[in-house]
């Protein structure tokens, strides 16, 4: 709440119904407002023409709507677009639109920076500046849908931008509920993928959610020692515990957990690594998404030769693991996996931030 006005960007539909009811307004008007905000992309009440002029003025006086603003927009030669969003406190985040994947896909952020400390990711080098609010997470989607004229078309959302979604658990899940609201964008769980390094307590909590997105777990190594070197905050958990949590994760018929594996030349791309990965995932309803490193200044690793990538994939396939090799999109505008970074402000180290779980 700012200056006595409630920010409806942060409200689920039931909360908005309560807010308008407190103003003496019929609760059904909340659904109308939700449609204008999410399906039409409006940012002001005065354009909501199915509300009376008097009601619009009343709402404007009591409520507000904070929306991330586009500060820059870059397009790659492959059609991928990167959006720089400026938030109300002047912090900035990046989101990516990936067309024809085959669905249209929005890659959105959940934090300004990231506390996980992955050595091959530019976002991780920022440290964590702050968590995004639910309204800032959902706001990226509603602005992208409006700007790309996709509000009445199907699109997918992947929580694979800046930040670790499960480190900002409460805001992330609230944002997904807001986006799933039938009066809004009506996103279904099958159209949403949450990507995480696999914070085990939060993963177990996620497994109990009634609204369950697709799960993608960033593995990146096949031994504890190697993973602890690559991901600073993984040092307090074992791969065996992470895989066990994945084995108990509820999956619908024919669904699989995606395991993301960034291939680093001479680090985790050996034949032995591939065979260990087959063993780790044996009996799991899983598929592996191999991601040859997207190189960038500041990342102290190299992309493996295509021959190594092909060899790794063949070993997985021969071990009856479903495997794909991700085609990098937007590399020429630094929009590919691991390349999102903005100028941050005061921040805490990965170790400081990962010491506490944000429940929101």
- pLDDT tens digits, the chain, 360 residues: what are they? 456 899 999 999 999 999 999 999 999 999 999 999 999 999 999 999 999 999 999 999 999 999 999 999 999 888 899 999 999 999 999 999 999 767 899 999 999 999 998 888 888 888 899 999 999 999 999 999 999 999 989 999 999 999 999 999 999 999 999 999 999 999 999 999 999 999 999 999 999 999 999 999 999 999 999 999 999 888 888 999 999 999 999 998 779 999 999 999 999 999 999 999 999 999 999 999 999 998 888 888 999 999 999 999 999 999 999 999 977 654 554 544 544 555 544 444 333 443 333 333
Phi first, then psi: give them for residue 292, nearest 5 degrees.
-55, 135
Whole-number pLDDT of residue 51: 96
The catalytic residues are: 94, 337
Residue 314: alpha-carbon gap to chain centroid: 29
Q: How many CB atoms lie within 10 A of CB 171?
A: 23
| Same domain, residue pair 24 and 159 | no
| Same domain, residue pair 43 and 168 | no
In a domain, 334, yes or no: yes
Residue 334: DSSP 8-state: T
In a domain, 358, yes or no: no
**Full residue range of the structural domain in which residue 148 is found:** 69-353
Phi first, then psi: give them for residue 258, nearest 5 degrees.
-90, 130
* Angle formed at CA 260 by CA 254 and CA 262, multiple of 5 degrees: 155
C-beta separation of 217 from 164 below 8 A: no
Whole-number pLDDT of residue 339: 45
- Rounded to whole angstroms, how far apart are CA atoms 122 and 342? 9
Whole-number pLDDT of residue 101: 67
C-alpha distances (whole Å) from 34 to each of 8, 25, 41, 189, 328 are 9, 15, 10, 20, 35
Whole-number pLDDT of residue 253: 76
Domain boundary, last residue among 64, 83, 104 = 64
| Range list of H helices, 63-168 | 122-125, 134-147
Whole-number pLDDT of residue 71: 96
CATH number at residue 26: 1.10.150.530
| Same domain, residue pair 47 and 166 | no
In a domain, 193, yes or no: yes
| Same domain, residue pair 52 and 91 | no
In a domain, 305, yes or no: yes
Q: Is the pTM of this model over 0.85?
A: yes
Domain boundary, last residue among 46, 64, 82 = 64
In a domain, 337, yes or no: yes
In a domain, 85, yes or no: yes
Who contacts 16 (Cβ-Cβ below 8 Å, separation ≥6)? 8, 30, 33, 34
Whole-number pLDDT of residue 354: 37
Whole-number pLDDT of residue 335: 47
In a domain, 359, yes or no: no
48: its two tokens: 């909501």
CA-nearest of 135, 199, 191, 139 to 169 is 199
Whole-number pLDDT of residue 10: 98
In a domain, 360, yes or no: no
| Same domain, residue pair 48 and 135 | no
Q: How many CB atoms lie within 10 A of CB 212?
A: 19
| Same domain, residue pair 20 and 129 | no
């Amino acid at each position: 709440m700012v200056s006595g006005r409630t920010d409806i960007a942060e409200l689920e539909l039931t909360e908005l119904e309560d807010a308008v009811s407190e103003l003496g307004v019929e609760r059904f008007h909340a659904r109308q407002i939700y449609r204008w905000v999410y399906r039409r992309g409006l940012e002001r009440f005065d354009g909501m023409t199915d509300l009376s002029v008097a009601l619009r003025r009343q709402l404007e006086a009591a409520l507000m709507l904070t929306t991330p603003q586009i500060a820059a927009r870059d397009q790659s030669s492959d059609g991928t677009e990167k959006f720089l969003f400026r938030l109300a406190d002047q912090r900035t985040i990046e989101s990516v639109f990936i067309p024809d994947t085959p669905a249209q896909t929005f890659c959105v952020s959940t934090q300004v920076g990231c506390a996980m400390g992955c050595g091959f990711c530019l976002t991780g080098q920022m440290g964590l500046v702050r968590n995004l609010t639910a309204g800032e997470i959902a706001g990226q989607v509603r602005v992208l849908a409006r700007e790309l004229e996709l509000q009445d078309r199907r699109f997918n959302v992947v929580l694979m931008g800046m930040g670790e979604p499960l480190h900002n658990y409460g805001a992330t899940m609230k944002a997904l509920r807001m986006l799933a609201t039938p009066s809004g964008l009506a996103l279904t769980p099958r159209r949403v993928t949450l990507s995480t390094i696999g914070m085990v307590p939060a993963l177990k909590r996620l497994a109990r959610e009634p609204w369950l997105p697709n799960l993608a777990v960033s593995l990146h190594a096949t031994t504890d020692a190697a993973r602890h070197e690559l991901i600073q905050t993984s040092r307090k958990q074992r791969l065996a515990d992470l895989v066990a949590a994945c084995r108990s994760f509820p999956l619908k018929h024919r669904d699989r957990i995606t395991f993301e594996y960034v291939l680093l030349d001479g680090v985790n791309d050996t034949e032995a690594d591939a065979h260990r990965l087959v063993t780790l995932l044996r009996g799991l309803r899983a598929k592996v998404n191999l991601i040859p490193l997207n190189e960038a200044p500041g990342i102290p690793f190299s992309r493996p030769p295509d021959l190594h990538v092909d060899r790794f994939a063949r070993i997985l396939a021969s071990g009856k693991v479903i495997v794909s090799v991700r085609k990098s999109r937007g590399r020429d505008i630094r929009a590919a996996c691991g390349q999102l970074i903005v100028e941050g402000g005061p921040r805490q180290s990965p170790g400081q931030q990962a010491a506490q779980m944000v429940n929101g």
